[in-house]
Structure 1
Amino acid sequence: MKVKILTFFFALLVYAAQAQTSKVISGSTNFSVKFILGTCNGTFDAPKGGAIFDPNNLNASAFNLTVAAATFKTGNNTRDKDMKSGKYFDVAKYPEIHFKSSKVEKKDANYQAIGTLTIKDVSKTVTLPFEAKKNADGSYALSSTFDINRLDYKVGESNWKLKDVVTVTIKAVIK
């Protein structure tokens, strides 16, 4: 009986070690939005935070990621300063963009994370599709491309020159 109990606890410890929270060790956050003169492409710094991803146990998988809103860059200093102002991201008041998953599931050959995306003072439930590839060192390379409506999050509401839909690509390596 003691052997069975010890075996059970050992198996539990091994499983817990495999499902430990990983940290984002590298990545990128890119976006594009069409406007009256063409397309504006830009970046934020890489996402930060924790992630648990186990393709064999998606119920134990979770993401809790932030992107620093003040790291907004388009290559145009005037535009970047304006985007950080109260008319757009209001980075002084809302320094982070945050995503916290509530569920991770398989979707065809890839995955999707369902959770809450918060930009400024608006939180909405979203589904973010993503790919996951295991690297030789045991880390995972995650990539997600999705569209959001900037007006849903009160970003640049008075700017009619920008299209409403913004395409975002987030890449992260977690280990």
Structure 2
Amino acid sequence: MRNRHQIIAFIFAFIGSTFAFGQTSKVVSGATNFKVKYVLGTCEGTFDAPKGEAVFNEKSPENASFDIEIAANTFKTGNNSRDKDMKSDKYFYIEKYPNIHFKSTKVEKKNGKYEATGKLTIRDVTKTVTLPFDAKKNADGGYALSSTFEVNRLDYKVGTKDWKLKDVVTVDLKAVIR
């Protein structure tokens, strides 16, 4: 009888710790927007929403993790010629590198803001980056996550140095996880 109570207590403790540390969730919706300055102004565009998995609980951010991808072939600026060029081997080379990938190695809360440090891979280049993000709990128990960060496109071999196009791209990433 005592062993049965110990087993039941262990099961409840295990289930409780799973909820305390966070559950694996899927990215169910979101948006990926970007902007980069060029000689005629600012080019704005989108990729489809990120896809992937996330473990997050605001009470234990140190146990969080993210593994998300963005399909590079969903690049859109509203200019078909530019979009086709950006998908070519000169820029994203989507035939060979179809996804942009981020996998966290550490998540923490600093000064009231969350930060996810991990590996960002674009084309065949992987670099360690730290992405700041906000998290708001939804009524359904999921989270709305948002991050705005900058990426130097040249660090990832997306194009070459060009006086007409700035090197730094601002990315605004939103994801709803459930």
**Shorter-normalised TM-score: what interval?**
over 0.9
Task: Report what 2:140 is aligned to.
Answer: 137
Task: Report what 1:125 is aligned to.
Answer: 128
Count of residues in correspondence between the two structures: 175
Q: Which moved more, 1:123-132 or 1:6-15?
A: 6-15
Gaps of 5+ in 1: none
Matched, 1:93 2:81: no
Matched, 1:61 2:64: yes
Deviations 1:82-131 (A, max 9, x none): 00001100000100000000000002122000000000000000000000
Task: Report what 1:166 is aligned to.
Answer: 169
* Amino acid corresponding to residue 83 of structure 1 in structure 2: M
| Contact 2:153 2:169 (8 Å CA) reproduced | yes
Shift of 1:61: 0.6
Q: Which residue, out of 12, 25, 44, partners 1:10?
A: 12
* Normalised TM-score (structure 1): 0.95
| Contact 2:161 2:167 (8 Å CA) reproduced | no
* Normalised TM-score (structure 2): 0.94
Q: Which residue, out of 79, 83, 94, partners 1:80?
A: 83
Matched, 1:28 2:31: yes
Shift of 1:11: 1.6
Q: Give secondary structure in 2 for the equivalent of 1:91.
A: coil
Shift of 1:158: 4.5
Gaps of 5+ in 2: none
* Amino acid corresponding to residue 16 of structure 1 in structure 2: T
Q: Give secondary structure in 2 for the equivalent of 1:163.
A: coil
